[in-house]
Amino acid sequence: MPRAQRKTRRAADSARSSAQKKRAGVHERAAVFAPWRLEFVLGPKDAGCFLCRAAGLSDGDEDAWKKTLLLYRDAHALVIMNRYPYTGGHLLIAPRRHTHELPSLKEAESRALWEQTRLCVEVLGKVMKPQGCNVGMNLGKAAGAGIEDHLHMHAIPRWVGDTNFWPVIGQVHTVPVALAQLWDELRPLFRGRT
């Protein structure tokens, strides 16, 4: 088959497959562009569990809480900002107890986890005014868990065209500053609950 004809056929195949996907309700999901996550993916990993460290901080030590990006904690669960966020305002909600097994959660832990997830979506809605929110868990490596040993829920605010929503995040080195500023904004809304 001549080259030009092959090209036309490939284009036709591709258009057909795209039309089939649309009919089947399949939409390709756009990836969030978060280059600062490379630091997490490629960098050395901290020894120990950062969620357990947050669980063990003293009550009322706001400096340590800010450094750790811990926003809220009760007897059973905690809310912490993801240091390597997919988008600004990416929060993690975890039981205080170190476990990777969701079925092992006691009723009070499950309730706290869900209540704090609800609270995160409420606070993010007020402060960041997202147009949507992803909430969910990746249990185990095969499911995409970045931290496998201590289960956690993600609450990720989303905007249409995500990458432009927070202009301050343009380069990797601006992220820690942006995170500390955002902690200052989010913390008061959680502090009222403690």
Q: Which of 10, 21, 22, 98 binds Zn ion (CB under 5 A)?
A: 98
CA separation for the pair 36, 83 (Å, rounded): 10
Nearer CB in complex with Zn ion: 28/46:
46
- The dihedral over CA atoms of 150, 190, 186, 137, expressed in degrees to the nearest 10, equals 30
CA separation for the pair 50, 37 (Å, rounded): 17
As given in the structure block, the two tokens for residue 82 are 């993801």
152 annotated active-site? yes
CA distances (Å), origin 64, targets 20, 67, 128: 54, 5, 24
CA separation for the pair 116, 109 (Å, rounded): 10
147 binds Zn ion (CB under 5 A): no
57 binds Zn ion (CB under 5 A): no
Nearer CB in complex with Zn ion: 95/157:
95
DSSP-derived letter for residue 161 is T
77 binds Zn ion (CB under 5 A): no
Q: Which stretch binds Zn ion (CB under 5 A): 1-9, 44-52, 80-88, 114-122?
A: 44-52
Q: Which stretch binds Zn ion (CB under 5 A): 33-41, 97-105, 139-147, 151-159?
A: 97-105
SS3 letters across 79-100: EEECCCCCCCCCEEEEECCCCC
Q: Which of 34, 36, 37, 51 binds Zn ion (CB under 5 A)?
A: 51
**CB contact set of 6 (below 8 Å; sequence gap of 6+):** none
Decide if 90 contacts 154 (C-beta within 8 A): yes
CA separation for the pair 94, 137 (Å, rounded): 10
150 binds Zn ion (CB under 5 A): yes
**# chain residues binding Zn ion, by CB under 5 A:** 5
73 binds Zn ion (CB under 5 A): no
Q: Which stretch binds Zn ion (CB under 5 A): 26-34, 82-90, 96-104, 124-132?
A: 96-104
Nearer CB in complex with Zn ion: 32/52:
52
Q: Which of 150, 152, 154, 173 is catalytic?
A: 152
Q: Which of 32, 49, 57, 145 binds Zn ion (CB under 5 A)?
A: 49
Nearer CB in complex with Zn ion: 51/124:
51
User: Which positions are catalytic?
Assistant: 152
Binding site residues, Zn ion, CB under 5 A? 49, 51-52, 98, 150
